[in-house]
A and B are shown apart, each in its own frame.
Chain A
Amino acid sequence: MIIRIFVFFSMFFFNYQLISGQSKSYTISGYIKDAENGETLIDAHVYLKNKTEVGAASNNYGFYSLTLPEGEYSIVFSYLGFEDQEFKIILNSDKKLNIDLISGVLLKELVVEDNKSIDQVQNTAMGRIELPTESIKKLPSLLGEVDILKVLQLLPGVSAADEGSAGFYVRGGGADQNLLLLDEAQVYNSGHLLGFFSIFNADAIKNTTLIKGSMPANYGGRISSVIDIQMKEGNDKHIAMTGGIGLIASRLTIEGPIQKEKSSFIISGRRTYALDLAQPFIRKSAFAGTNYYFYDLNAKFNHRFSDKDRLYISGYFGRDILNYNSNERGFKLNMPYGNNTATLRWNHVVSNKLFMNTTIIYNAYDFNLSGEQDLFSFRVSNGVRDYQLKLDLDYYPSAGRVIRIGGNVIHHRFTPNVVQGRSGEVSFTNDYKPKYGVESAIYYQDELKVSKFLTINIGLRWSRFEQVGPYILDSTTYKNLEPIKTFAVMEPRLFATILFNPSTSIKFGYNMNEQYSHLVTNSTSTLPTDVWVPSSTQVNPQRGHQWSVGWFKTLNQGMWNIATEGFYKLLINQIDYKESYTSNQNIEVEQAFVFGKGAAYGGELFIQKQKGNLTGWLGYTYTRSWRSYAEIEGGRRFPASFEKPHDFELISNYQASKKWSLAGTFVYGTGRPFTPLRSVYYIDQELVTRYGPRNSVRVQDYHRLDLAATYTPRPDSRRAFKSTWSFSIYNIYNRRNPFFINYDLDSDLASGRAKATAYKVSLFPVIPSITWNFKWN
């Protein structure tokens, strides 16, 4: 069946080629880069000046290819925030054209037109937003730590897990349903310090793409969204250093060429030191030895062997380390956890129309907790480890058409919560064994302009997951890679754009996604202690269907973008913990799961001003998201704990002068649902609580205003060393937003004492911060 479908598509593809190949055509291809540092530009545009609908975009590696009939053309290369470049070309043979675009942020009068906005209207992508890192660095941030994931939360359709948390939910989908990729490696835990900060150090990140709507067929494995993050490649022209000193962390990045314009590297580190500074006091206290910090290290190296071949090696290593000592009673706790990823990538230009990317990926997340006191000691650990091989082919047969074909194979190891301990002479363990899985997929995706008014994108992704050995199940021993349980499904994707005029379109989309790895949490945000589990004999894959429709408009030559989208999501085989779940280590988490269904629907409005001294956006989202489990309240539909029907954001950035830039963000959202007390009752003379219908009432609405100012003392300086000061105030009017509800029950039935108090606990008051950043070229 699958082979037949692929044959059908291949036939279609070759037939199309014959038709379009009848007139003589030639191809212009190459890389689009930033002139200053040689970084490739993702999703930069190349188009015909007098026929803007004919064009192409650079891929994730900066490669573009545009095939046109023989003739004379004026071709424009453009990227937001950069000067356009225009070339007159007589196209009578295939041409290679590598383009260096010059950053035009301070030369905005030269930015004649930004075709990116037009492309947003014309292409088939829906619910897709690109965030170049530079564009978010001036926004206010908590404690001065620029955080990509927190900026994502300011976009319509994305909501925050909790106050100050980097966790997020997209269009009513769960926290584990977002595919988070760092240089193509999956990141299983994106948070430091209980999720208050994300692991992505903005200094090392080039670009972030959020796909919340039409997920193209080259992505899979999660049912809600994709966050595709690319690390910088490193300046291939000269050595450069950037860094910053903030209240809780400092950063340093070094990048430069190894062989000029052929190979470059970047190393970027960040570490917190709040408790390091307190060490002189801690050392003298009963808590000597206690410390907490986290760090991130990003490194990347690339080498261009020729115009056709480029090799990248990149890695991320991050860890949270907590040591807690209470020396008075000899209690010690040690908790390291973190992610490591490594990506080896080979870009090969097979021909001027065919680009190939081969990637080998390693990624791992592990959590460890150990403690000891006197004769007792224990250790708990869990984690995920993946090896992945991935091949992607981008084929550009003609202007307006891109075909992507590829596939990947991942070998997963999921380590459950393994407990080992010792009490006196006796050791104990729950002896849980890792579960292994092989996840694979092949995909075909064809985006083509059927006519001047209609563009369609057809995708098919065939995915498969096999729980494999080594494993012992019901006293049957499975050997290494021996199949235990297999799931496979065809995931169709279909998107279409109807263009009314070059600046107005309507888009439709449908996608089905299958998810084979799951993380269930019983807290309102994900914690490092939460355990990823695979699909297996006990757990079926999650499935999501999403239908979306949108109206897109660009005004005033790309100065304004307006997008409105509506969506409906059907979520099948959703997972939660049973109502009486306790985090005891005497059962594997799968045994505490219940399975059900859900749905989410809503609408989004996004109005963005991209150019001028004042830039920013206004976002509004209406979302409803419910879940239903037969084993929870008899299947009653209840709102997801993160459902915020109304979510509004206003983000602005104003370049007041060459020295001062001001920014503000305002967010308003309906209060989150929580489970109220149904009643209280007495057991053993004390009050205990009985919870009412799940998530049936809400805390107060959430709102907050943050402001920031960035001061550049010498903006026109030609010196190699430049610095800026960032001042940020979080929650400027000191709104006490509810964080959680707490009950204090002080009661003793027999003696007649009966007092109870409910508290609303809020977390962050007004928090000012200051950060000094520098750049040395």
Chain B
Amino acid sequence: MASPKYLYRCTPKVLIGLAIPLWILMSSCETEFIPKNINLEPELVVEGYIESGDNPLPAYVLLTRSRPFFTSLSTGQLEDLFVNNAEITVSDGSQVVKLDEVCISNVTPVRKKQLAAILGLDPDSIKVNICIYLDQFAQLIPKQGSSYKLTIKTEGQIIESVTTIPAYVPLDSTWWRKAPGEPVDTLLQLMSRIKDPVGQKNFYRYFCSINTSNFLTAFNSVFDDALIDGKDFEFRLIRPNLPSEKFDQATFGLFKVGDTIAVKWSSIDQGHFEFWNTLEFNKGNQGPFSSYTTITSNIKGGLGIWGGSSSRTYRLTVKR
């Protein structure tokens, strides 16, 4: 979304971008180096979600380890990052459900496809034996307004977290609008409107899938209603770049006429918002004009996110 946050965050980079022509004679120079390994123990990383909505996702968790900086890793080394045989439970206050560990290389193609869909991945693209802890039989029904407690016991450690699935605030409407600037036939911007509920903190996240792609996010996928509380607010949804696409200022964020797209619009809780907000800030801000932002986590005893959300998917065709 072209929010004030997005634009304001970009300004130091714009400044640098503009300063650069002034240093035309002074090409800045990048030299590769290998950072020193600071020899601290790896930490446990949780990435787990539970989602209500038109296409609910059962509770699932990826449990991995952090590792020191590397220049490249083999598939085997990547697989070693997964933590197996952990005891993981999720509780909604009335029932406790144990998540089962399922590794992709051990399942049938049909099951692989189902697991890939939960992870939002193309099954053919998965080359690594991803292991996932899953509420296989959907014993917990994700519900708006409910809190879910995650407990992980592994290697003598206990990791805990709580997330809430907030009440869903829908996209009120979406429509296509001509691209800003010079006329262009092939590109459109996707406009949308929400009616933000008054007097309560709301946090939003959105994803886009273009044609057959996975759900992807642009570099700012989350925002809150601090500036727009209770407003009937009109804004633009930004098209994320596909992995195969290079950044092009002239087309970035705009949808190509003829494509079919899906927008997944989510309401999330504050802990979930702060995780993505700090993560995206951390990714986008390196260098002398920003110091290092620590990614906020709602995981006690580890890194990562246990995130609840309520979502709906809107399918659209890009047309004039």
Asked if residues A335 and B283 are in contact (CB atoms below 8 Å), the reply is no
Query: In the complex, which residues of chain B have a beta carbon less than 8 angstroms from the beta carbon of A523?
Result: 12, 288-291
Does A754 make an interface contact (CB < 8 A)? Answer: yes
Given A374-B180, A759-B33, the answer on whether A752 and B127 have CB atoms closer than 8 Å is yes
Does A677 make an interface contact (CB < 8 A)? Answer: yes
Does B32 make an interface contact (CB < 8 A)? Answer: yes
Query: In the complex, which residues of chain B have a beta carbon less than 8 angstroms from the beta carbon of A763?
Result: 23, 26, 28
Task: Select which of A582, A585, A697 is within 8 A of B281 by beta carbon.
Answer: A582
Asked if residues B295 and A677 are in contact (CB atoms below 8 Å), the reply is no
Asked if residues B69 and A677 are in contact (CB atoms below 8 Å), the reply is yes
Residue of B nearest to A683 (CB): B47
Asked if residues B71 and A757 are in contact (CB atoms below 8 Å), the reply is yes
Query: In the complex, which residues of chain A have a beta carbon less than 8 angstroms from the beta carbon of B278?
Result: 580, 582
Task: Select which of B35, B77, B232 is within 8 A of A676 by beta carbon.
Answer: B35
Asked if residues B35 and A579 are in contact (CB atoms below 8 Å), the reply is no
Does B106 make an interface contact (CB < 8 A)? Answer: no
Does B25 make an interface contact (CB < 8 A)? Answer: yes
Stretch from B95-103, B158-166, B222-230 forming part of the interface with A:
B222-230
Does A292 make an interface contact (CB < 8 A)? Answer: yes
Does A21 make an interface contact (CB < 8 A)? Answer: no
Query: In the complex, which residues of chain B have a beta carbon less than 8 angstroms from the beta carbon of A761?
Result: 28-30, 287
Does B259 make an interface contact (CB < 8 A)? Answer: no
Q: How far is the CA of A194 from the CA of B235 in the complex (A)?
A: 31
Asked if residues A690 and B303 are in contact (CB atoms below 8 Å), the reply is yes
Q: How far is the CA of A318 from the CA of B30 in the complex (A)?
A: 34
Task: Select which of A380, A577, A754, A765 is within 8 A of B78 by beta carbon.
Answer: A754
Q: How far is the CA of A577 from the CA of B285 in the complex (A)?
A: 15
Query: In the complex, which residues of chain A have a beta carbon less than 8 angstroms from the beta carbon of B181?
Result: 326-331, 373-374
- Type the 1/0 row for B36-76, where 1 means its CB is closer than 8 Å to any CB of A: 10101011010100000000000000101111111111010
Q: How far is the CA of A278 from the CA of B49 in the complex (A)?
A: 52
Q: How far is the CA of A676 from the CA of B40 in the complex (A)?
A: 12
Does B282 make an interface contact (CB < 8 A)? Answer: yes
Q: What is the size category of the interface that chain A forms with chain B?
A: 35 or more
Asked if residues A755 and B127 are in contact (CB atoms below 8 Å), the reply is no
Q: How far is the CA of A577 from the CA of B31 in the complex (A)?
A: 30
Residue of A nearest to B22 (CB): A274
Task: Select which of B65, B72, B180, B279 is within 8 A of A373 by beta carbon.
Answer: B180
Kindly provide the distance from the CB of A234 to the nearest chain B CB, expressed in whole angstroms.
33
**B 212-264 contacts with A by CB, 8 A:** 224, 226-228, 231-236, 243, 249-250
Query: In the complex, which residues of chain A have a beta carbon less than 8 angstroms from the beta carbon of B130?
Result: 749-750
Residue of B nearest to A329 (CB): B181
Kindly provide the distance from the CB of B205 to the nearest chain A CB, expressed in whole angstroms.
12
Asked if residues A371 and B7 are in contact (CB atoms below 8 Å), the reply is yes
Stretch from A424-432, A538-546, A556-564, A655-663 forming part of the interface with B:
A424-432
- Type the 1/0 row for A672-690, where 1 means its CB is closer than 8 Å to any CB of B: 0001111111111100111
Task: Select which of A580, A641, A739 is within 8 A of B293 by beta carbon.
Answer: A580
Given A373-B2, A426-B233, the answer on whether A767 and B26 have CB atoms closer than 8 Å is yes
Does B89 make an interface contact (CB < 8 A)? Answer: no
Q: How far is the CA of A193 from the CA of B18 in the complex (A)?
A: 10
Other than the given A329-B182, A681-B304, A756-B70, 8 more pairs (CB < 8 A) read A290-B18, A421-B4, A429-B227, A522-B290, A523-B290, A676-B36, A758-B35, A767-B25
Interface of A with B (CB < 8 Å)?
162, 193-194, 196, 248, 274-275, 278, 290, 292, 322, 324, 326-331, 333, 335, 369, 371, 373-376, 378, 380, 419, 421, 423-426, 428-430, 522-525, 527, 529, 577, 579-587, 641, 675-685, 688-694, 696-697, 736, 739-743, 748-752, 754-765, 767
The 8 closest A-B pairs by CB, nearest first: A586-B226, A330-B181, A424-B234, A374-B180, A679-B66, A754-B73, A681-B66, A579-B294
Interface of B with A (CB < 8 Å)?
2, 4-5, 7-9, 11-12, 14-16, 18-19, 21-23, 25-36, 38, 40, 42-43, 45, 47, 62, 64-73, 75, 77-78, 81, 119, 121, 125-128, 130, 177, 179-182, 189, 191, 224, 226-228, 231-236, 243, 249-250, 274, 277-279, 281-283, 286-296, 303-305
